[in-house]
Chain A
Amino acid sequence: MTKVEEIVSHLPMQPLDDPIPVGQLYFPDWCDYEQAMRGIFEREYYNNNGPLVTALEKQLENFLNVKHAICVSNATHGLMIAAQAMELTGKVILPAHTFIASAQSLLWCGLTPVFCDVQKDGHHIDSTKLEALITDDVSAIMAVNLWGGAADIDALEKMASKHDIKLYFDSAQAFGCEYQGKKVGGFGDVEVFSLHATKVLSAGEGGLICTNNDELANKIRSIRPSYGNFEKVAIEKVANSRMSEAQAAVALLNLKSYKDYQRNNENIYNLYSKRLSSIPGISIVNPEGVTLSNFQSLVCSVDEEKFGCSRDDLLNILKHFSVLARRYFYPGVHKTVDFEHYGYKLPNTDRLSNVAIQLPIGAQVEKDVVNFICDVIAQTHEKSLCHG
Chain B
Amino acid sequence: MNKKTSEELAVFGGRPIFEEFKSTSNLLKPDVEKFLNYSKTFYAQKHYTNNGPNVRLLESRLASFHNTKHCVSFSSGFWALALVIKVLAKPGKTEVILPSLTYRRMTDMIAWLGLTPHFCEVDEETLAMCPSSVKSCVNENTAVILGVHPIVNCSDVESLELIANECEIPLVFDSVESVYESIDAGKIGAFGEAECFSLHACKLFNGFGGGYLTTNNSELAKQLSSMRTFGFVGPDNIEYSHGVNAKLNEMHACMALASLDDIDAQVADNKARYYQYRKGLASLKGFSLLEFDEAFDSGFKNIVARISDAWPFSRDETVRILNAERVLARAHYDPPLHTKLNDNEYLACDLSLTESLATQFINLPCGQKVSCDDIEKIIDLLRFIENNADQIKQLMPRMTEHD
B29 adjacent to A44 (CB under 8 Å): yes
- Which of the 9-residue segments B35-43, B179-187, B353-361, B394-402 touches chain A? B35-43
Also in contact, A41 and B75, with CB within 8 A (given A104-B244, A202-B48): no
Q: Which residues of B contact A202 (CB under 8 A)?
A: 48
Would you call A155 an interface residue if the criterion is a C-beta within 8 Å of the partner chain's C-beta atoms?
no
B-contact bits for A316-339, CB 8 A (1 contact / 0 none): 000000000011001100001110
Would you call A380 an interface residue if the criterion is a C-beta within 8 Å of the partner chain's C-beta atoms?
no
The answer, among B32, B76, B200, B255, for a CB contact under 8 Å with A241, is B76
Q: Which residues of A contact B109 (CB under 8 A)?
A: 240
A246 adjacent to B49 (CB under 8 Å): no
B249 adjacent to A204 (CB under 8 Å): yes
- Which of the 9-residue segments A31-39, A142-150, A281-289, A294-302 touches chain B? A31-39
Q: Which residues of B contact A247 (CB under 8 A)?
A: 208, 249, 251
Residue of B105, B243, B245 most packed against chain A (CB within 10 A):
B245
For the complex formed, measure the closest distance between the CB of B86 and the CB atoms of chain A, giving whole angstroms.
9
B-contact bits for A43-65, CB 8 A (1 contact / 0 none): 01011100000000000000000
- Which of the 9-residue segments B233-241, B266-274, B316-324, B374-382 touches chain A? B233-241
Q: Which residues of B contact A33 (CB under 8 A)?
A: 39, 43
Would you call A90 an interface residue if the criterion is a C-beta within 8 Å of the partner chain's C-beta atoms?
no
The answer, among A27, A236, A245, for a CB contact under 8 Å with B48, is A27
Q: Which residues of B contact A38 (CB under 8 A)?
A: 32
Would you call B201 an interface residue if the criterion is a C-beta within 8 Å of the partner chain's C-beta atoms?
yes
A240 adjacent to B105 (CB under 8 Å): yes
Would you call B388 an interface residue if the criterion is a C-beta within 8 Å of the partner chain's C-beta atoms?
no
B244 adjacent to A246 (CB under 8 Å): no
Total cross-chain contacts (CB, 8 A)? 126
B251 adjacent to A246 (CB under 8 Å): yes
For the complex formed, measure the closest distance between the CB of A288 and the CB atoms of chain B, giving whole angstroms.
23
Q: Which secondary structure dominates chain A's binding surface?
A: loop
**A312 to B41 alpha-carbon distance, docked (Å):** 33
Q: Which residues of B contact A337 (CB under 8 A)?
A: 231, 238-241
B75 adjacent to A44 (CB under 8 Å): no
For the complex formed, measure the closest distance between the CB of B105 and the CB atoms of chain A, giving whole angstroms.
6
Would you call B78 an interface residue if the criterion is a C-beta within 8 Å of the partner chain's C-beta atoms?
yes
Would you call A85 an interface residue if the criterion is a C-beta within 8 Å of the partner chain's C-beta atoms?
no
The answer, among A74, A197, A326, A338, for a CB contact under 8 Å with B75, is A74
A108 adjacent to B200 (CB under 8 Å): no
Also in contact, A41 and B247, with CB within 8 A (given A33-B43, A204-B48): no
